[in-house]
């Protein structure tokens, strides 16, 4: 395996470990992490005039961002896999991302938290955002003459 593909695989595995590791936390531990992060960024939010005492939006944003990263990583791996058309592999990236999101919510069920279908859709939309962003970044990087 080429070093760049190996690196992307390692990044994917680390991202999966982060996502699923957080899902294994019970509700109190998960909320504690969110509240701790909110406490750290509260001065910035106050300076920007953003009033927020709830960490719910932060949790949703974190899920969207971590799944956007995963989607971008899946897309990068698909790009590095030179066996067939890159564009033809993009739907597989989306299917894998959806599977990860569904597994993520299922894991929460076993950690005493309640899974939500809307969270699967939020995670999946984050993945799609990451896939699309990485696709366009790769288009720019490759240039118009070497369209992928």
Query: Tens digit of pLDDT for each residue in 8-51?
Result: 999 999 999 999 998 888 767 767 777 777 777 777 767 777 77
Confidence grade of residue 108 (pLDDT, cut at 50, 70, 90): confident
**pLDDT band per the 50, 70, 90 thresholds, residue 146:** low
User: Which pLDDT score, from 0 to 100, does residue 148 have?
Assistant: 53
Nearest Cα to Cα of residue 96 among 109, 116, 81: 81
In-domain check, residue 147: no
Query: Domain for residue 69, yes or no?
Result: yes
Highest mean pLDDT among 64-68, 109-113, 136-140: 64-68
Place of tokens 């949703």: 60
Which pLDDT value is given to residue 144?
A: 57
Q: Cα–Cα distances in Å, from 56 out to 52, 99, 129?
A: 10, 24, 21
Please indicate whether residue 127 or residue 35 has the higher confidence score (pLDDT).
127
Number of structural domains the chain divides into: 1
133 located within any domain:
yes
Q: What is the mean pLDDT of residues 78-93?
A: 85
Q: pTM value?
A: 0.83
Whether 85 maps to a domain, the answer reads yes
Tell me what percent of the residues of the chain surpass a pLDDT of 90.
47
Closest CA to 56 of 103, 126, 122, 106: 122
| Residue 84 DSSP one-character state | S
In a domain, 43, yes or no: yes
pLDDT of 147 > 60? The answer is: no
Element (H, E) at 116: none
| Sequence-ordered list of residues with C-beta below 8 angstroms from that of 120, at least 6 positions apart, any chain | 98, 101, 102, 104, 105
Nearest to 24 by CA among 117, 86, 89, 112: 112
The answer to whether residue 148 is domain-embedded is no
């Amino acid at each position: 395996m080429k070093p760049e593909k190996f690196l992307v695989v390692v990044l994917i595995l680390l991202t999966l470990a982060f996502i699923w590791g957080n899902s294994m936390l019970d509700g109190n531990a998960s909320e504690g992490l969110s509240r701790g992060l909110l406490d750290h960024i509260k001065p910035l939010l106050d300076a920007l005039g953003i009033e927020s005492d709830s960490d719910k939006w932060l949790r949703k944003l974190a899920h969207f961002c971590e799944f956007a990263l995963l989607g971008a990583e899946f897309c990068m791996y698909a790009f590095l896999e030179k066996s067939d058309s890159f564009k033809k592999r993009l739907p597989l990236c989306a299917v894998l991302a959806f599977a990860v999101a569904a597994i993520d919510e299922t894991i929460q069920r076993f950690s005493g938290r309640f899974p939500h279908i809307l969270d699967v859709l939020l995670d999946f939309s984050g993945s799609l955002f990451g896939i699309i962003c990485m696709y366009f970044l790769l288009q720019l990087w490759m240039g118009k003459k070497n369209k992928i």
